[in-house]
Amino acid sequence: MTTYALLIYRTSPPSVPIPELEERRALLEHRALQAEASARGELHAVARLDETRAARTIRPRSGGHEVTDGPFIEAKEWLVGFYVVDCESEEQALARARQICGDGAHAVEVRPVNWRWKP
């Protein structure tokens, strides 16, 4: 069993609304994945992130740290949420990503997790 991060990116700017029907369908897909993975004890974390304008970035600077507004990442896509979930294989991780990537406004990156804190 391998733990994967399913990183959900918005591919359109926040000023472009997602059609209500697409958003409702996507929410149903997310709830289905959450129920299935949770029932199998494979769901470790899921979060929907706030808009990038609420983000802060901390960078080390001589004598301390600098805190700036926003993520300041040069990208058209922006991280809006994630899952941390155990999968039997990369194929299962990709299938789960397809399940929650049903609309044209999002993309899901699938990445193995090399370290996860276990209480």
pTM here is: 0.77
Instruction: Express each pLDDT in 69-107 by its tens digit.
Output: 765 555 667 788 888 999 999 889 999 888 887 767 778
User: What's the pLDDT band for 113 if we cut at 50, 70, 90?
Assistant: confident
Per-position DSSP letters for 78-118, written without gaps between them:
EEEEEEEEEESSHHHHHHHHHHT--STTEEEEEEE-S----
Query: How many domains is the chain partitioned into structurally?
Result: 1
**Structural domain of residue 12, as residue ranges?**
2-112
In a domain, 58, yes or no: yes
From 45, 67, 65, select the one nearest 55 (Cα to Cα).
67
In a domain, 118, yes or no: no
Instruction: Express each pLDDT in 44-72 by its tens digit.
Output: 989 888 777 777 777 778 888 877 776 55
In a domain, 119, yes or no: no
